[in-house]
Amino acid sequence: MSLKVACVGEAMVELSMSGDTAAVGVAGDTLNTAIYMKRSAPSLAVDYVTCVGDDPFSAKIRDFIAGQGIGCSNIAVLPGQTPGLYAITTAEDGERSFTYWRGSSAARRLFQGKKEPDFSVLANYDVVYLSGITMAILPHPVRLALLDWLVQSSVRFVYDSNFRPRLWEDPAIARTVTSLLWARSDIALPSVDDEMALFEETHEEVLERFVGLGMSGALKQGADGPVSLGSEVSQRYAPAEQVVDTTAAGDSFNGAYLGSLLSGASQHDALMAGHRCASVVVGHRGAIIPKDDR
């Protein structure tokens, strides 16, 4: 029987601008990871857990997720609500910039029951994966309740801090929540740049901290390749053949690494699978590349 994995977070409508026109897509950090995990390990049962509205754009999100082979049974549809949206614009020099409209996204209502937070949707999964973005969009009481639920649960928990300062109401809260989640994580997937920014540490201090925590996982270092956490792995990582767009580099690494690891591969092979996947993804524009290009 295959493992059941829940990826939890926010799926948004993406507008990719070209002059005065826009291509409409779907994106989100934990969704990107879910898609690459499923592609890397088709035998895994990967579901996406979020909230959307009952509008046409929310329907597009659900259809897109289902089309990627991701389970949608725990995507809650909230009447009268709408999803978050963001636009990508590209300057003449190729530099990309992002504009977000996500303050009233339906996903911000995740786990909010009629009287108190309700996490029963997660109870039937073997593995739960979420990110710092997932935590940042939740009201603080819901965050704290989710932390309590995770501490009391035996579910295998995977976390990527994926720090976005503008989403958090206070850097100190972000540091506290992230530290508690690292302490609970069974598999940690931090990025060195995010951890340096969040904890105001050097590269070496970040590495020393995670080695000291004694957890399993991978510390992502971009083009330099990951550092193995929990077991020593010595191998070289080839650079990407070309870098067109680094969107979803970390998300795709997480997906392929987890898909490989949860399917029984060694840490050595899982790290290499993650790096190779990310190296291909950065050679394309957009977060989700065509299936045949992986």
Nearest to 87 by CA among 138, 20, 140: 20
Q: What is the mean pLDDT of residues 214-235?
A: 92
Buried b or exposed e, range 80-95, using 16+ CB within 10 angstroms = ebbbbbbebeeeeeee
Query: Could you give the CA distance from residue 280 to residue 241 in angstroms, rounded to a whole number?
Result: 8
Rg (Cα) of the chain, in Å, rounded? 18
Walk across the sheet containing 227-229 and list its strands. Answer: 75-77, 45-52, 4-8, 127-131, 156-160, 187-188, 216-219, 227-229
List of domains in the chain? 4-293 (3.40.1190.20)
Mean pLDDT over the full length of the chain: 92
Q: Which of 251, 269, 292, 293 is catalytic?
A: 251
Task: Note the pTM of the prediction, 2 decimals.
Answer: 0.94
Q: Give the strand pairing for 85-90 and 75-77.
A: unpaired
Q: Do residues 268 and 257 make contact, with C-beta atoms less than 8 angstroms apart? A: no
- pLDDT surpasses 80 at 91: no
pLDDT in tens, 33-68: 999 999 999 999 999 999 999 999 999 999 999 999
Q: What share of the chain in percent tops pLDDT 70?
A: 97
pLDDT in tens, 93-120: 545 677 889 989 999 999 998 899 999 9
pLDDT in tens, 121-172: 999 999 999 999 999 999 999 999 999 999 999 999 999 999 999 999 999 9
Q: Do residues 101 and 84 make contact, with C-beta atoms less than 8 angstroms apart? A: yes
Angle between helices 267-281 and 249-262 (to 10 degrees): 150
Q: How far is CA 95 from the centre of its chain?
A: 23
pLDDT in tens, 169-204: 999 999 999 999 999 999 999 999 999 999 999 999
> Active-site residue 47, yes or no?
no
pLDDT for residue 94:
47
